[in-house]
Chain A
Amino acid sequence: MKRWWGMAVATAVGGVLFVAASGAQPEPRRPHFTDIAPKSDFSYRTDNNFTGRKYFPQTMCGGVAAFDFDNDGRMDLFFTNGAKLPELAKTDPRFYHCLLRNRGDGTFEDVTAHAGLLGKDLGFSFGVAAGDYDNDGYQDLFICNAGRNSLYHNNGNGTFTDVTEGSGLTKPKDVLSVAAAWFDYDNDGKLDLIVSNYTVWTPQIDKVCAINGQEYYCHPKIYPGVAHRLYQNLGNGRFADVTDSSGFGTEMGKGMGIAIADYNGDGYMDVFVANDTVRNFLFLNQKNGTFKEAGYEWGVAYDESGNAHSSMGADARDYDNDGLPDLFYNNLKGQIWGLFHNVDGKYMNYVSGLSHVSRLSSHSSGWSNGFIDYNNDGWKDLYSSNGDIDDMGQISRQPDTMFENVDGKEFRDVSTQLGADFSHAGFQRGSAFVDLNNDGFMDLVVTSLFEKPRILINSADDGNHWLLVNTIGRRSNRDGVGAVLKLTTAAGRTLYNHVTTSDGFMSSSDKRVHFGLGAEKAIQTLEIRWPSGTVQTVKKPKADQILTVTEPER
Chain B
Amino acid sequence: MTKLASICLIAGLLGSVAQSQQPEGDSGALLQQAISLHQSGDFEGAIRGYRAFLNGHPESVQARSNLGAALAHVGRYQEAIAEYNLALERSPDNPALLLNLGLAYYKMGHHAEAAVRFERAAALSPQFKEQVTLLLAVCYNSLGRYKEAVALLEPLETAKAGDPGFDYLYGTALIGDNQEARGAAVIDRIVSRGDSAEARLLRGTLELSAHDRDKALADLQKAIELNPRLPGAHARLGELLLTLGETERARGAFSDELALEPDEFTSNLNLGVLAKEEQDYASARHYLERALKVRPNDPGVRYQLANVDLATGNLEQARQALETLVGESPDFAEGHATLATVYYRLRRAADGDRERALSQKLMDRRDAAQTGAKTR
Contacts and interface: CB of A to CB of B under 8 A. Distances in A.
A216 B352 contact: no
A307 B337 CA distance: 9
A297 to B, nearest CB: 4
A219 B244 contact: no
B277 A219 contact: no
Counting contact residues on chain B (CB < 8 A from A), the size range is 35 or more
A306 B374 CA distance: 20
Interface in A308-332: 310, 332
A362 B278 contact: no
A209 interface: yes
Given A296-B352, A362-B245, A211 B278 contact: no
Nearest to B370: A221
A362 B376 contact: no
Given A306-B307, A306-B334, A353-B279, A296 B375 contact: no
A334 interface: yes
B95 interface: no
Contact of B375 (A219, A299, A306): A219
A336 interface: yes
Q: Is the interface of B mostly helix, strand, loop or mixed?
A: helix
A542 interface: no
A219 B373 contact: yes
Interface string A350-364: 111110001100110
Interface stretch (B32-40, B112-120, B338-346): B338-346
B79 interface: no
Contacts of A297: 341, 344, 352
Interface string B319-342: 000000000000000110110110
Contact of B376 (A252, A299, A332): A332
Contact of B307 (A305, A310, A358): A305
Given A219-B375, A221-B370, A310-B376, A363 B341 contact: no
A307 B247 CA distance: 17
A216 B243 CA distance: 17
B345 A347 contact: yes
A127 to B, nearest CB: 21
Interface string A12-44: 000000000000000000000000000000000
A65 interface: no
Contact of A304 (B277, B363, B364): B277
A389 interface: yes
B356 interface: yes
Contacts of A522: none
Contacts of B341: 296-297, 299, 301
B373 A306 contact: no
B325 to A, nearest CB: 11
Interface in B198-239: 211-212
A278 interface: yes
Contacts of A306: 303, 307, 334-335, 337-338
A218 B373 contact: yes
B122 to A, nearest CB: 38
B65 interface: no
B188 interface: no
Contacts of B280: 353
Nearest to B214: A393
A283 interface: no
A258 to B, nearest CB: 21
A537 to B, nearest CB: 37
A216 B376 CA distance: 10
B243 A334 contact: yes
A231 interface: no
A296 B277 contact: no
Nearest to B345: A347
Interface string A184-216: 000000000000000000000001010110001
Given A209-B373, A359-B247, A363-B247, A304 B311 contact: yes
A296 B337 contact: yes
Nearest to A218: B373
Interface string A275-302: 0001100000000000000001101011
Interface residues of A, number: 40
A333 interface: yes
A156 to B, nearest CB: 45
B276 interface: yes
B344 A216 contact: no
A9 interface: no
B376 A336 contact: no
Task: From B242, B276, B335, B375, name the one whose CB has the most chain A CB atoms within 10 angstroms.
Answer: B375
Contact of B334 (A296, A307, A347, A353): A307
A212 B212 contact: yes
Contacts of B211: 211
A294 to B, nearest CB: 9
A354 B243 contact: no
Nearest to B332: A306
Given A297-B341, A353-B279, A362-B247, A207 B373 contact: yes
B298 interface: no
Contacts of B363: 278-279
B26 interface: no
A306 B273 CA distance: 12
A1 interface: no
A241 to B, nearest CB: 24
Contacts of B24: none
B270 interface: no
A222 interface: yes
A359 B277 CA distance: 9
Contacts of B352: 296-297
B172 interface: no
A215 to B, nearest CB: 11
A305 B344 CA distance: 16
B304 interface: yes
B285 to A, nearest CB: 14
Nearest to B300: A305
A201 to B, nearest CB: 15
Interface in B231-290: 242-248, 273, 276-280
Given A212-B212, A297-B341, A334 B273 contact: no
A211 B212 CA distance: 9
B130 interface: no
A16 B75 CA distance: 48
A301 B376 contact: no
Contacts of A358: 277-278
A336 B376 CA distance: 14
Given A225-B367, A296-B340, A353-B277, 16 more contacts: A209-B373, A211-B211, A218-B373, A278-B363, A296-B341, A304-B277, A305-B303, A306-B338, A347-B345, A353-B279, A358-B277, A359-B247, A359-B278, A362-B245, A362-B248, A363-B247
18 contacts: A211-B375, A212-B212, A217-B376, A218-B373, A219-B376, A278-B363, A296-B352, A302-B338, A305-B334, A306-B307, A306-B337, A334-B242, A334-B247, A351-B279, A353-B280, A359-B278, A362-B245, A389-B376
Interface of B: 211-212, 242-248, 273, 276-280, 303-304, 307, 310-311, 334-335, 337-338, 340-341, 344-345, 352, 356, 363-364, 367, 370, 372-376
Which 8 A-B pairs give the minimum distances between C-beta atoms?
A: A353-B279, A334-B245, A306-B334, A333-B245, A209-B373, A362-B247, A353-B278, A297-B344
